[in-house]
Amino acid sequence: MISQLSSAGRWAAGYAKRGRRVFPVDAAKRPLVCWGEGATTDIATIIRWWQRWPHADVGLSLPPEWMVVDVDRHGPDQDGYADFRGLSGGASVDDVATLQASTPRAGRHLYFLTGGRRFKNGYVAGTAVEIKAAVGFVVLPTSENGRHWLNRAPLAPIPGWLVDVALRKPPPVTAGIAAPLSDDVSVRNQGRAALQRACLRIAGARFGEQDNIRHQQCFYLGGLCSRGDIDEAEALAALTRAALAMPTFGTKPWRDLARRVAASFEAGKARPVPLSITDRFMRDLKARMRLRRPSHG
């Protein structure tokens, strides 16, 4: 039966035979099954899954003794490779002798042994370096998904500097100040459009990254609020509704979402989103033009 599966299904069965608990995910890395307890090494289950979803990618439920460091480039100001070098004291990902895989957007997964330590999933504060540990998952390479194993090295113990980084407590939140709402209609419209995009991203976030995406989007909107692009009450209400719309997996409900949304938003208010040179010029120009308009009355 395995021989009759798609290529992805045969890869899934191969991983399962090596003792890896796998499950199917779609092209957007969303689990197609309730994977927390459902990820399996059972070949009959894998055959049934990949007969139903022949082109599904292979998700790996990370065992407690594994950690994956996800290094990526999300843009000119979010370079995980540079961040990794900074955190490690100058070592690049190529200098690390451990199992590694590439990802489709020129990213990298580095696999480590945790040595019994427990780590939280999430981005290292202020970087594009993401830690994925127990209760998290990664997508494994197959012959058709643009992911490739880069070596056959055994998993190395997590280096000391990475332990320090992963266990580092985030800095205390400094409350920011909301600027008066802009009187420029185009600025307010852009702010509402950004709020709408953020809400869609939060409500549609994939499992394993939901709280990270919620925090990132709420933090960003807080930064827009602090420069007057959006109304604080309107933004908080919309973001909270989006967070409550996130699906739960298993029996664990979301808790304290309104408080977490507000905390992320407040942290963002302390870091106003900088304006581009073009935006700054256009806002200054519009402000001068409004001052020059003759008053009626």
Domain ranges, ordered by start, for the chain:
19-46+53-61, 62-170, 185-292
Q: What is the pLDDT of residue 98?
A: 96
- pLDDT (tens, 9 = 90+) of the chain, 297 residues, equals 788 899 999 999 999 999 999 999 998 888 888 876 689 999 999 999 999 999 999 999 999 999 999 999 876 667 899 999 999 989 999 999 999 999 998 899 999 999 988 888 888 877 889 999 987 899 999 999 999 999 999 999 999 999 888 877 655 555 566 677 887 888 889 899 999 999 999 998 877 678 878 888 998 999 899 888 899 999 999 999 999 898 876 545 667 788 889 988 988 888 887 766 666 666 666 566 656 655 554
What's the residue count for the chain?
A: 297
What one-letter code names the amino acid at 225? C
Model pLDDT, residue 251: 47
Joined tokens for residue 172: 């205390």
Sequence-distant (≥ 6) Cβ neighbours of residue 209 within 8 angstroms:
none
Tokens representing residue 112 in the block: 């480590």
> For residue 108, what pLDDT is reported?
96
pLDDT for res 137: 92
Q: DSSP label at 133? A: -
The architecture CATH gives domain 62-170: 2-Layer Sandwich (3.30)
E strand residue ranges, the chain: 22-25, 57-61, 66-71, 73-75, 78-79, 100-102, 108-113, 122-123, 129-132, 137-140, 148-149, 156-157
Q: Chain centroid to CA 186: how far?
A: 30
Token pair for residue 257? Answer: 């979402």
